[in-house]
């Protein structure tokens, strides 16, 4: 046997990425073998190397694509210029996006330590880019007198950490729907930075 009927790289490629993302998120990067990923896709391990030079590159590509998508989605949202409304939009956006990309979010926070220094720096830089967008909102609101935070950078990190927490407990079909969760977290975030 060799090439399989119906095989096409633009089908197999995404399937490999999805399988890797799923398995890495579920069991951890180090605990998942190339053979397991291949089995999930239905190919032999050797075939993976048509799509990635090595295992670590597979991970860093997943992380970078996720961070790029996150930043692009927020930039595309283009909410109101008012800092308070912007903050509300950010809170709701962040929760919704993270719930829609739970596996990639999990990976982005858990598997950074499996990256070499240069790959680590790339992902860390993208994360900072995203954080800076929230920090700019807080600073603008502070300057306009709507917010009063003791430390802008810490408030940024505190809000993001708080919002990220949703992913650890949210289950589809649970007590609260996504809209209700957005309402609740917006209430807490708003008050936390209120003047």
Question: What residue ranges bind a copy of itself (CB under 8 A)?
Answer: 26-31, 110, 113-114, 149-151, 154-155, 157-162, 164-165, 168-169, 176, 181, 183-185, 187-189, 191-194
Burial annotation 120-144 (CB, 10 A radius, 16+ → b, else e): eeebeebbeebeeebbebbbbbbee
Please choose which of a copy of itself, DNA, none residue 72 contacts, taking the beta carbon within 5 to 8 angstroms, the exact cut-off set by kind: none
DSSP string, 26-63: HH-TTT--HHHHHHHHTS-GGGGGGT-SSHHHHHHHHH
Query: Is residue 116 involved in binding DNA (CB under 7 A)?
Result: no
**Does residue 103 touch DNA according to CB under 7 A?**
no
Residues 48-87 vs DNA: string with x where CB under 7 A?
xxx--xxxx-------------------------------
Q: Which does 5 bind (CB under 5 to 8 A by kind): a copy of itself, DNA, none?
A: DNA
Q: 46, 125, 165, 177: which one contacts DNA (CB under 7 A)?
A: 46
- Determine if 6 is a binding residue for DNA (CB under 7 A): yes
Among 22, 28, 36, 162, binds DNA (CB under 7 A): 36
Q: Is 78 left (phi over 0), alpha (psi -120 to 50) or beta?
A: left
HSE-up of 19 (CA within 13 Å, CB side)? 21
Distances (CA, A) of 144 to 132, 174, 193: 18, 39, 13
The strand pairing partners of 100, in sequence order, are none
175 belongs to the binding site for DNA (CB under 7 A) = no
| Binding footprint of DNA on the chain (CB under 7 A) | 1-10, 12, 32-36, 38, 42-50, 53-56
């Amino acid at each position: 046997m060799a090439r399989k009927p119906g095989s096409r790289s633009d089908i197999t490629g995404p399937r490999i990425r999805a399988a890797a993302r799923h398995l890495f998120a579920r069991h951890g990067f180090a605990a998942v073998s190339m053979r397991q990923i291949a089995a999930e896709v239905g190919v032999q391990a050797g075939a993976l190397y048509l799509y990635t030079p090595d295992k670590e590159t597979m991970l860093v590509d997943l992380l970078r694509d996720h961070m790029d998508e996150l930043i692009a989605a927020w930039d595309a949202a283009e909410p109101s210029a008012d800092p308070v409304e912007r903050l509300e939009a950010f809170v709701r956006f962040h929760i919704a996006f993270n719930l829609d990309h739970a596996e990639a979010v999990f990976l982005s926070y858990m598997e950074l330590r499996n990256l070499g220094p240069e790959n680590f720096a790339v992902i860390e830089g993208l994360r900072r880019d995203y954080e800076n967008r929230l920090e700019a909102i807080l600073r603008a609101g502070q300057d306009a007198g709507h917010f009063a935070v003791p430390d802008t950078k810490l408030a940024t990190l505190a809000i993001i950490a708080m919002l990220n927490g949703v992913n650890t407990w949210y289950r589809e079909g649970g007590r609260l729907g996504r809209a209700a969760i957005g309402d609740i977290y917006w209430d807490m975030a708003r008050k936390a930075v209120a003047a």
